[in-house]
Amino acid sequence: MRKQLIVIIMAGLTLFLCAVAAGAGATPMIGINVVLNTDVTDAILADLGTHGTVRDVVREIHAVTLQSRTSALPVIRALPYVAAANPDAQRRNGPVTPVLVTDFSNGLSSWDLDAINVTDYGFDNRQVAYDGTGVYVAVLDTGLVDNWPYYFPADRIAVDYAVCFGGGGGDNGTVSTQPNKWEHDQNSHGTHVTSTIIGYNFNGVPVNGVAPLATVIPVKVLNQNGSGWSSVIARGIVYVADLKAGALAGHPVVINMSLGGPSMDAMEQAAIDYAIANGVIVVASAGNEGTAGMGYPGAYAPVISVAASGWIGEWVGGGSWWYKNVPDPTNPADYYITAFSSRALPGQDLDVAAPGSWIVGPYQTDGQISYYFLGGTSMASPHVAGIVALMAQKDPALTAPAAEAILEGSAVPLPPGCRTVLNPDGTSTEYCWESDATGAGLATANAALAAMP
């Protein structure tokens, strides 16, 4: 009996050691985004299921997400029905530098809106004939804070279409719709981005926006720390494209994505192509990586990408500088490109630049009503998304390629150079850039509208 017991123990130990050895050699589980070269069928899903666990299917763009091991990726790529496959790419809304706003004692305008010639110094100061009426701008971001009705008029937020997508990344499970979470954001990034497009309330004083009568669709695709996955973002893009093809077929639709990551994702690219094919115009931030290169999807050519510019008069003279008058006509010598704004590497497409330095707006760090200056290409992108909304109001049939061509053709060239800029503490910083930092130059609303047929 004792001999039999020893044999059983040894056999069990052998099985245990074999299992440990097998586990040690296994590669980690990841999310894999797969784009097919054909329609999604039950047979394909069954076959993909032998290589991992199918987590989500997006039939509009022939895409499938899998939870599988990294070692399976080459095998999946070699399948005859697979056009492209890659690990689910992580995305972030980019670092920002918040500085608490302490003085809103004057006015309805801010320097950044004056810089793109939407407003001018003073009250009742719209400088263009369009305000975004009838245009929907989907903000794919972190959603809105709980008290968003304090900042924005209820009829400017399309609550019937607002949505939240979560999950992604393979190990996090299936991409899912999470009702009402879009209006419980604790990050504030999406709220600040929205404020640039439609303006906002400051203690009863309305502050102007680029397209104040456009309607924003909050599409939450980033979590509470401002990060997310391409599979989730692709879901958000497809959702907006389907709205454009259905309920919003009679309206122009623009997407703003103040987010990005270091590589293009096949599923995200397919979603962007699908959206543009359905008449959606996509605008995205260039990224905040400086000379390390642009982020994606901004660097993808069909997307209108936006670098971050600043104004040399930001801190000159003290006081409520954000309310100061920016000189007209637009003089390139008055502007600079921020150090953080991503430069375009070979194969990357940078289109235009817009204000992205010291942009004021609602930003809550403790759940209380507050306003901050933020810096980032995340702040530059909604300026251009707002300009596109004005353009789409003028021509509801405006296409993404036409919008990009008009913006580039009407931009104010900003040649390579250097500017010495005063800092808030009285010191100064020299900013220098080359031609890879500006795209076609500074976008302005009046010039873009004037260049339209």
Kindly list the catalytic residues.
141, 189, 378
What is the rounded CA–CA span in Å between residue 389 and residue 386?
Answer: 5
Q: How many helices (H) and strands (E) does the chain have?
A: 11, 22
Among 109, 101, 116, residue whose Cα is nearest residue 364:
101
Residue 441 amino acid letter: G
By CB atoms closer than 10 A (0-12, 13-18, 19+), residue 216 is buried
H or E segment at 381? helix 377-394
Three-class DSSP labels, 236-296: HHHHHHHHHHCCCCCCCEEEEECCEECCCCHHHHHHHHHHHHCCCEEEEECCCCHHHCCCE
Half-sphere exposure in the Cβ direction for 304 (13 Å, CA)? 33
Assess contact for 328 and 446: CB atoms under 8 A.
Answer: no
Distance of alpha carbon 214 from the chain centroid:
18
Q: Looking at the DSSP assignment, which residues form a beta bridge with residue 90?
A: 229
By CB atoms closer than 10 A (0-12, 13-18, 19+), residue 262 is middle
What is the rounded CA–CA span in Å between residue 192 and residue 321?
Answer: 19
H or E segment at 164? strand 163-166
